[in-house]
Amino acid sequence: MDWLAFSLLNGIIYGLLLFMVSAGLTLIFGMMGVLNFAHASFYMLGAYFAYSLQGIVGFVPALVGATLLAGLVGAGVERWFLRRVHRYGHAHELLLTFGLSFVIAETIKLFFGNYPVDYRIPRSLDVSAFMLGNQQYPAYRLLMGVVALVMFGLIYLLLTRTRVGIVVRSAIYKPRMVEALGHNVQRVFMGVFGVGAALAGLAGAVAGAFYTTSPNMALEVGVMVFVVVVVGGLGSLGGAMLASLLIGVLTSLAVGVDHSAADLLAFVGARGWAESVGGLLTLKLSSLAATLPFALMLLILLLRPSGLMGDKD
Amino acid sequence: MRTPLSLTAVALLAALPFVLSAGLLNASIQMLIAALFACAYSLLAGRAGMLSFGHAAYFGVGAFATVHAMNALGGSGLLPTPLLPLVGAVAGLAFGLVAGWFATQRSGTAFAMITLAIAELLHALAPQLKGWFGGESGVSSMRMPAWGLDFGSTTQVYYLTLAWVLISLAAMYFHSRTPLGRLTLALRENAHRLRFLGYDMHGLGVSAFALSAMFSGIAGGLQVISNESANYAVFDAGVSASVVLNCFIGGVGSFLGPALGAALMTFFGYSVSDQTQVWLLYQGTLFVLVMMFMPDGLTGLATATASLVRRHGLTAVLPLGMLWVVAALLLTSGAVFVIEMLQRLCSQDYRALALMSPTAPPVALFGRSWAPAVLSIWIVPAGLLAAGGLVAGCALRRLRGLAQKADQDAPAPVVPLAEQVSP
């Protein structure tokens, strides 16, 4: 059962990481109705910023710096790009952010090359937290989970307990009314966009050191994050949390399963048939792990089109 | 379409093999395929207003179906080589029906995400299913002779591609004139009203999706016939991205806009691929600029210019146009200089070189070498950019002046720029 505990823990932490990225995305979507395609690019930018800063200021200041820089880039994108095309409609905004994600990825390739960079966690943090059976569990993984949880707590408190939070929540709900009450809704939008980007940047800075930092990381995480927000329900923070954890645990568990559909069919005596058919039936679940979230998404869409916790649209 | 104009265009396309070299003819085949793919995409994204970010899936399915049919039938029997794209069409249609049934359950943003996920699903699955997709090496095949043609030369492949592209474009144009096509347009313009009128929204969405997938499948099939192989790289997100970029750079407001955009972008990609390694960056930047300043794409720009000429006369518009061209040239050359310089400075070779020598080694660019550490080098692009900005500002002022003068002369209605493509 060590394996199960190990996979569950990994899955939960990966899910928390996904949540850190998707929280900003779903918040921005709820407020502006724009699904920011470039959101995962901020995740990547965070990792690259931290990588560049690490050599100069050290690891932890680099994390802070990367978070701030990603947030600034995000606010800039809202101020100078999205706001300009707002009048052309949502589809146009989606396309613009799509173009931006493309440009950001290509710019990263321009500066850092089209291969993974050597961004690693510092030696002092590369220790094991505890033994699980006969395997060591890296402390850094736990740290990632803690960072995500702390961020979630802070955001939650900010949104529910402060004046700023009230304005933000009401700007999501009825922007016109908030504007009429004398609040600068444009600035609120820019702020939320920036905070969402900063969150993604922090996630990237933290996770990039543990996983790999490469120009492809935006696409890999981005697609997964889109799946998360669709499964969780567009615009729902709680749904994003649930879906992130679900997908994290699902993929993490699936990687360790060495069975295929043929093994399952063996129970009904159809193993020979399955093996003669081949294809999907003989593929091991572990090699299908990357495709499971998509399958889950299609299933959810079939059963509950608005997502796990989404409103009916 | 204006008949004489399109006939001339077809005649020109048919004459190309007589004037082009084999390499350029190959590029033309790629341009034609990209144009067909972009048009197929525009049927869904432009006409029906449903943004798909995973169209590589249908292109790829068409490609693999064709390559398997090529191997299985050997270009004989019921499906000789010239008819093979039909397999791509059927496969695209079938897969498009299934995927479209799922995707069109939702509209808007969720739709876009679902298409993306379906494409990624295939992309993740394809390398695992070696039997179908051939793993890393892909599946290769041979073009077999049929109908008295051996399809050994590029010219014959070109004519085959051209014929299929023209037939498909004609079919898509015909579709846009049928009631079904008009309803597809209505799906984009006013879905609520369509529902009140009693139309089956889901069915309409699926029809547009499946037709778009079918024509994408034909494009995939043509690609296989031209390359004689298919690899799971056709499912790559880059393929989906490039069709979106091409299509909107060309402009979805007009029927042939996406085709022109795709042909143009493919041609540029082909012609500059030796000179630059960051072509995709230029393409992405162009797309962002188009999205921000010319929401109707390049064809929209042409239409707007034409209407300016009609209203103010050629003499008033010509100097303005010249100013814009000069500004664009200055800005582009400045930006290209900076980007190419940075690319060379950040490349692995250069970094290794810089580590060995005490001073920054010179960089070869545009036929001469530049010392990057000398500040005056950077005056060149800075000057270009500044001059471009100045000229652009001047042109903008003149454009505003023109519009103001027109308003004073006669309160004419403003040119409806944003009307065509507001999705």
> Is residue B305 a part of any domain in this protein?
no
**Boundary-marking domain end, from B267, B297, B327:** B297
Is residue B207 within 8 A of residue B180, CB to CB? The reply is yes
Q: Of A96, A288, A295, which is closest to B288 when you measure between CB atoms?
A: A96
Sign of the dihedral defined by the CA atoms of residues B181, B187, B188, B190, in that order: positive
Interchain contact, A106 vs B292, CB within 8 Å: no
The predicted complex's ipTM stands at 0.83
Q: Which residue of B has its CA nearest to A288?
A: B125
> For position A291, what pLDDT does the model report?
82
Domain boundary among B297, B326, B358: B297
- Report yes or no: A247 and A228 within 8 Å, Cβ to Cβ: yes
B346 and B224 co-located in one domain: no
Q: What residues contact residue B378 under an 8 Å CB cut-off, 6+ apart?
A: none
- pLDDT, position B396: 81
- The SS3 call for residue B198 is coil
Q: Which two tokens stand for residue B270?
A: 């082909």
Q: Does any CB of chain A come closer than 8 Å to the CB of residue B265?
A: no
Do B271 and B324 sit in the same domain of this protein? Answer: no
> Do B103 and B154 share a domain, yes or no?
yes
In this structure, what is the dihedral angle of CA atoms B183, B186, B187, B188, given to the nearest 10 degrees? 140
**Cα–Cα distance between B29 and B35 in angstroms, integer?**
10
Do B271 and B322 fall into the same domain?
no
Contact residues for A275 (Cβ-Cβ < 8 A; gap 6+): A262, A281, A282
Angstroms from B233 CA to nearest CA on chain A? 15
The closest CB to that of B291, out of A87, A92, A302, belongs to A92
Nearest Cβ partner for B295 among A88, A109, A234: A88
Which tokens is A154 given? 């802070």
Tokens 């890393």 appear where? B136
Domain that holds residue B330: 313-409
Chain A residues with beta carbon closer than 8 angstroms to that of B125: 288, 291
Q: Write out the E strands in A73-194.
A: 128-132, 135-138
Could you give the CA distance from residue B257 to residue B77 in angstroms, rounded to a whole number?
Answer: 38
Is B369 part of any domain? yes
- What count of Cα atoms within 13 Å lies in the side-chain half-sphere of residue A260? 15
Sign of the four-CA dihedral B100, B102, B107, B111: negative
Q: State whether the Cα torsion B393-B395-B396-B398 is positive or negative.
A: positive
Q: How remote is the C-alpha of B128 from its chain's centroid?
A: 29
Nearest residue in chain B measured CA to CA from A82: B292
Angstrom distance (rounded) from CA A55 to CA A293: 36
Given a cut of 50, the residues of chain B with pLDDT beneath it are 412-423
Q: Using alpha carbons, list the distances in angstroms from residue B419 to A88, A288, B43, B234, B423.
A: 9, 46, 18, 35, 9
B290 and B325 assigned to the same domain: no
CA–CA dist A14, A19 (Å, integer): 9
H-type alpha helices, A58-138? 59-76, 83-85, 90-112
B351–chain A Cβ distance below 8 A for any pair = no
Domain match, B106 and B146 both: yes
Same domain, B154 and B293: yes
pTM here is 0.85
Pairing state between β B139-140 and B229-230: antiparallel
Confirm whether B414 is domain-assigned.
no
How many CA atoms are closer than 13 Å to the CA of B300, on its beta-carbon side? Answer: 23
Number of C-beta neighbours around residue B104 at 10 A: 24
With CA atoms as reference, report the closest residue to A185 among A203, A200, A201, A169: A169
- Residue B234 lies inside a defined structural domain of this protein: yes
Beta bridge partners of A260: A284
Q: Cβ neighbours of residue A124 under 8 Å, at least 6 residues apart?
A: none
Instruction: Report if residue B420 sits inside a domain.
Output: no
Does a structural domain hold residue B416?
no
Looking at the structure, do residues B195 and B341 belong to the same domain, yes or no?
no
Does B386 lie in the same domain as B280?
A: no
B278's enclosing H/E stretch is none
The answer to whether the beta carbons of residues B344 and B419 sit under 8 Å apart is no
CA atoms within 13 A on the CB side of B50: 35
CATH (domain of B229): 1.10.3470
CB contact under 8 A, A290 and B124: yes
C-alpha of B125 from chain center: 26
Residue where a domain stops, chosen among B231, B266, B297: B297
Q: Is the Cβ–Cβ distance between A111 and B351 less than 8 Å?
A: no
Angle at B328 between CA B46 and CA A87, to 5 degrees: 40
Q: Which of B53, B117, B283 sits opposite A297 (nearest CB)?
A: B117
Min Cα–Cα distance to chain A from B107, Å = 10
Instruction: Look at residue B308 and tell me if it is in a domain.
Output: no
Instruction: Specify whether the CB–CB gap between A281 and A265 falls below 8 A.
Output: yes
Regarding whether B332 and B202 lie in a shared domain, the answer is no
Q: Distance between CA A84 and CA A124 in Å, rounded? A: 46
B202 touches chain A (CB under 8 A): no
The answer to whether residues B208 and B357 belong to one domain is no
Residues of A in Cβ contact (< 8 Å) with B423:
89-92
Domain membership of residue B272 (yes or no) is yes
- Give the DSSP letter string of B2-57: -HHHHHHHHHHHHHHHHHS-HHHHHHHHHHHHHHHHHHHHHIIIIIS----S-THH
Q: What is the pLDDT along chain A (313 residues), one digit of tens a residue?
A: 677 888 888 889 889 988 988 888 888 887 777 788 888 899 999 999 999 888 888 888 888 999 999 999 999 998 888 888 888 878 888 889 989 998 999 899 888 888 888 887 777 777 776 776 677 778 888 888 888 888 888 888 888 888 888 888 888 778 788 889 888 888 888 888 898 899 899 989 988 888 888 888 888 888 888 888 888 887 778 888 899 999 999 888 887 777 766 676 677 666 666 666 666 666 777 777 778 888 888 888 778 777 787 764 4
A84, A226, A302 member nearest B292 (Cβ): A84
Residue A29 with chain B: CB contacts under 8 Å: 109
- Cβ of B346 and A290 within 8 Å? no
Whether residues B96 and B179 fall in one domain? yes
Domain count, chain B: 2
Contact B208, B11 (CB under 8 A): no
Tell me which H or E stretch contains B230.
Answer: strand B229-230
Distance from CA of A163 to the nearest CA of B (A): 31
Q: Which residues pair with A117 in a beta bridge?
A: A213
